[in-house]
Chains A and B, each alone.
Chain A
């Protein structure tokens, strides 16, 4: 517990609810203001952050400890016209350290559909900014959200969770990067209009490939695709000419013969002065003769090679996810403890204030004697009395922090009262 409050997560995700239900709870940018207004209200929550993506809708909130998020569930069910029982069945509710751990897992992309995908952290930052803009965040959630961003960054830096390719598209990108490094400004040639070819081309374009040239047996289809990809359509008989120019060649056609073979590529490579050419054959039967790989400067891969890279990437990501989970768990424990310790802050501030008041009263009482001292001696007395009070309060502050970490509200109250009474009894 954080004082008399608790951090909770109420949400639905791709793991628990179908899209038909998730879409009912999706919160658009326009609806944010109204939703925050209803969420941050008495008997619902003190502070709230809303994360609404295509895979999940989650509300992170600071609620009264005895409520543990039930108010938010009821609000969601009534505002969306869904039966509370249905919502409870298809949603999840985490409280306390479990909630903090869940938030860290989501932001670190451990709960994503594709584990390790990078978009979630950006979505998190947007959610954080929206809550800030609508003044829905107080000190506790602000601290928690900042910690969340830094934990997610730590996971990405210390593990390779986001770096291993898990799709055919990313596998193609990774292999191309192994040849070229940066893909910015590269030109790719897509031969055919196969689904797999389009997937890899999309991925390459998303990772920096500048220009896409499309060759197809049916020229009108090439033009259609060129419009879709903002590329250039060319006729199949211009293939050799374009192979001299491009950096990457993707073949994905239904043809049952080699469209690129060694006899065709050897003069192309000489004309290119052996500048690297990365070839990916995604067709079955194959369209690029495998022996072109022996030519200097040609790096040829087929659908099995890409599948192998993607498979290894998925295995590696799974391994990295285990390491990431360990980071998240230890960070959540530490963060929750520190949030709890902060709940003792008002009591500690009160203790310090009362101690300072008592010191001032005593100094005032001895003013006549103190005035007889020279300035240096007066400074020594000031410093000494301050140090005495500090030492006197030291153990009490440590105890207050410990009780805060444990969420022991009653203990904190007893400590506060004891010190308060002590002060009062200390008065002459």
Chain B
């Protein structure tokens, strides 16, 4: 049941992205379809997640496919929230493709989870928080790429059509918000996971995911430190988000290939 819904969401996102690329006046009427296409896609996406959870339990969202579909939904939600500012519409050009890629990948990755879903409330809180964390970092990545593009155009005097893009300040602020959201969720997720593991009679082994999560946590903690305490912003903050997410995705792909799930 979930696959047709995810496919519908994917097609709607692709349609929305294609419309967002249509800059010519002749297609101005089509741009009105952008919002409805996004919302239809998002509704189908949520329905797909709901169907996945109902059919296989929350544990299925911990599978590679379920996780990516969940993160993709968070990315789409983040963009829908960002769209409230009309000048931030261009963020979609960077964020929607990310949602598309993640959702498309989820259709080809294994849908079974090694996790049993036992563990009462610990498991859903741990899983949700970890995924929200990754979603926040994904959004920060998209926003940061756009920041670097706008900065490059300003520095190199490529000014045509620049007024359609968000200001550097807006993008910098969004980057900070998404990083802080991701970091807070990741911190709670790791803490809950740690407490849950400690409470188990047989402690799970320290696998690559746990080490990876800690490295990611340290990386983004440094990003926030540099921003809040050091006051550094702009290109440096954007660089942190881009590199952090690239590293995160590379290590995730490695983990999924090695263990077909999150943990050994």
Residues of A within 8 A of B (CB): 158, 163-164, 174-175, 177-182, 273-276, 293-294, 296-297, 299, 301, 305, 308-309, 312, 319, 323
Contact = CB atoms under 8 A, between A and B. Distances in A.
B163 to A, nearest CB: 6
Nearest to A298: B155
B234 A309 contact: no
Given A178-B168, A308-B159, A309-B159, 17 more contacts: A164-B163, A177-B167, A178-B150, A178-B165, A179-B154, A179-B167, A179-B169, A180-B168, A181-B167, A274-B233, A274-B234, A294-B155, A296-B234, A296-B235, A305-B157, A312-B160, A323-B25
Contacts of B170: 181
Dominant secondary structure at the A interface: helix
A347 B152 CA distance: 67
Contacts of A275: 231, 233
B191 interface: no
Interface residues of B, number: 23
Interface in B10-34: 25, 28
A174 B159 CA distance: 11
A178 B90 CA distance: 13
A294 B152 CA distance: 11
Interface string B148-183: 001000110101101101111110000000000000
Contact of A274 (B28, B155, B232): B232
A175 B167 CA distance: 9
A312 B167 contact: no
Interface of B: 25, 28, 150, 154-155, 157, 159-160, 162-163, 165-170, 230-236
B167 A180 contact: yes
B112 to A, nearest CB: 46
27 contacts: A158-B28, A175-B154, A175-B159, A177-B163, A177-B167, A178-B150, A178-B162, A178-B167, A178-B168, A179-B169, A180-B167, A180-B168, A180-B169, A181-B167, A181-B168, A181-B169, A181-B170, A273-B230, A274-B232, A276-B169, A276-B234, A294-B155, A296-B234, A299-B154, A305-B157, A309-B159, A323-B25
Nearest to B162: A178
Contacts of B159: 175, 305, 308-309, 312
A297 B231 CA distance: 13
B176 to A, nearest CB: 14
A182 B232 CA distance: 20
A294 B233 CA distance: 17
A175 B157 CA distance: 10
A99 B131 CA distance: 62
Contacts of B155: 293-294, 299
A274 B166 CA distance: 20
A163 B231 contact: no
B261 to A, nearest CB: 42
B232 A273 contact: yes
A181 B165 CA distance: 11
Contacts of A301: 157
Nearest to B160: A312
Contacts of A164: 163
Contacts of B150: 178
A319 B162 CA distance: 17
Nearest to B168: A179
A273 B227 CA distance: 10
Contacts of A305: 157, 159
Contacts of B157: 301, 305
Looking at B155, B157, B160, which has the most chain A CB atoms within 10 Å of its CB?
Answer: B157
A163 B148 CA distance: 24
Contacts of A309: 159
A87 B253 CA distance: 80
Contact of A174 (B163, B169, B230, B236): B163
A299 B155 CA distance: 6
B234 to A, nearest CB: 6
Contacts of A181: 166-170
Nearest to B88: A181
Nearest to A312: B160
Contacts of A294: 155
